[in-house]
Amino acid sequence: MPDISIRKAGRTGRITLNRPKAMNALTWDMCLAIEQALDCWRDDDAVQMVLIDAMGDKAFCAGGDIAEMYATATQGDYDYGQRFWRDEYRLNAKMDAYPKPIVTFLQGFTMGGGVGVGCHASHRIVCENSQIAMPECTIGLVPDVGGSLLLAKAPGHWGEYLGLTGTRMGPADAIEAGFADSFVASSAWDALKTDLEASGDPAIINAHTTAPDQGTLSAQTALINRHFSATSLPDIARSLASDDSDFAQAAHKALTRNAPLAMATALRIIRAVRTAPSIRNALDQEFRYTYRCGAQGDFVEGIRAAIIDRDRTPKWQHASFDAVPEEEIAAMRAPLGEAALQWEDTQ
């Protein structure tokens, strides 16, 4: 059975991720197939909107399939990952700017690469078990696939908090943070998809929408803003450590698990994108880091600890929040020159 199903149904173009046993992890071939479908449907009058969903109830897409990236990077071959990210980011930009409505159904886990496919759509639907997060710093990456734009646009300093800690958002928090738009009970999804196929009109989503249970982030906003507005990663860590509240201690513990270089760079990226909030700027900022993360960052070690050996004890190249030199952060964020992302084929 193929990893992805692409077809027309009624007035819609349908894309279904079909790797439920792998949490619908996104492969390179799946990225290219989605892009090709969107290119074909862009000027197809028979397709009035695009609907993207996934098989299984555990995950819409829990991230990118990074096993091959790890395998090649451990051999000193970083070209595979660089080309994968280049193509994936081109898809993310196309989805953000797509001229027709795109509706995504985000059940279960939507993380990393899943955010790239699911959360740049024009109409993003969550349900009772939706959990959305950008946990890249736990594996030595920065929030990417355009996620830095979503984080930059989140209320207050939620973006810094969510990006540095990798905290998972339930449906209400995801909507308030700007990662989703509508809550529709999972029991109504099949009927809604049928209605969308028949009408090609995403306005009918409103008739199926209800209110989710209350989230938690709003009540924590004052604490988030107090601590995560600090100037640097060490300042944020010290601020959290000085606060004995449950929130601050949990957030500080989350930071201690993640790669210091990734977090320090992610903080700069989120704030740089906030000053110039566009998908292309976000992807450009992110690609500067991901292009280099195999050779200069903690990506290989992060994947080893989390996915390969699963010992959960990564040996980051920097031992503490204070140990990341400014010049290393600057080096990971430096322009890539001729290797930078190109946008000629995004329209």
Which one is catalytic: 53, 65, 144, 173? 144
Distance CA 41, CA 32 (A): 14
Q: Where are the alpha helices (DSSP H) in the chain?
A: 28-42, 67-73, 79-96, 113-118, 147-153, 158-165, 171-177, 189-199, 217-228, 233-241, 246-257, 260-275, 279-296, 299-303, 326-333
Active site residue 64: yes
Cα 190 to Cα 254: distance, rounded to the nearest angstrom: 37
DSSP 8-state class, residue 304: I
> How long a stretch of residues is the chain?
347
Whose structure tokens read 């450009």?
284
Distance (Å, whole) CA 157 – CA 294: 29
Q: What is the H or E stretch that residue 16 is in?
A: strand 12-17
For residue 297, indicate whether it is catalytic: no
Which is catalytic among the residues 113, 116, 159, 200? 113
Number of other CB atoms surrounding residue 318 within 10 Å: 17
Catalytic residue among 64, 116, 163, 297: 64
| Three-state DSSP state, 55 | coil
Say how far apart CA 217 and CA 219 lie, in whole Å.
5
Q: What share of the chain is helix, strand, coil (3-state, %, to 5)?
A: 55, 10, 35
Q: Which two tokens stand for residue 236?
A: 């944020």
C-beta of residue 119 within 8 angstroms of C-beta of residue 276: no
Catalytically annotated residue among 53, 65, 96, 136: 136
DSSP state of 2: -
CA dist 276 and 225 (Å) reads 21
Give me the torsion for CA of 159, 160, 165, 169, rounded to 10°: -10
Which residues are catalytic, by number?
A: 64, 113, 136, 144
